[in-house]
Amino acid sequence: MIKYIKIPGYHYANPVGGMFSHFYQFMEEDKETPMTILVHAYECPTVIFKGYVFVKQDTYQSVPITDEERKLIEQATGQLKQIDFNEFVKETFLDEDYGRFQMKEKK
């Protein structure tokens, strides 16, 4: 089960949208601005977003998943595909609240 995956430096932060939504969230531990890994495991391949979501600014920043993180998640979900945040929320119940978010410009 996905919620039992042990990703070093992250903790499982409950299912997103309720127990049967197939959306899962892992939050980086002990950080003022934690990175998140979102997993949608309803269809194959499983899709994930890894990065920062800045709710107050309606922005996000994607970060590539590491080989170790990919291996750990794929053990529970099978093949996965990392996608952008806007693509992750599109056509889901998350779209209403997060569909307006824009990619944060890197400085």
Using 50, 70 and 90 to split pLDDT, how confident is the model at 103? confident
| 8 contacts 29 by C-beta, under 8 angstroms | no
Q: Map tokens 């990065």 to a residue.
A: 51
| 27 contacts 10 by C-beta, under 8 angstroms | yes
On average, the pLDDT of the chain sits at 86
Looking at the chain, the whole-number percentage of residues with pLDDT higher than 90 is 38
Tokens of 101: 């978010």
- Residue bearing the bigger pLDDT, 82 or 100: 82
Per-residue pLDDT tens digits for 20-31: 558 888 999 998
**What's this model's pTM, rounded to 2 decimal places?**
0.84
| 60 contacts 103 by C-beta, under 8 angstroms | yes
Tokens of 20: 């049967």
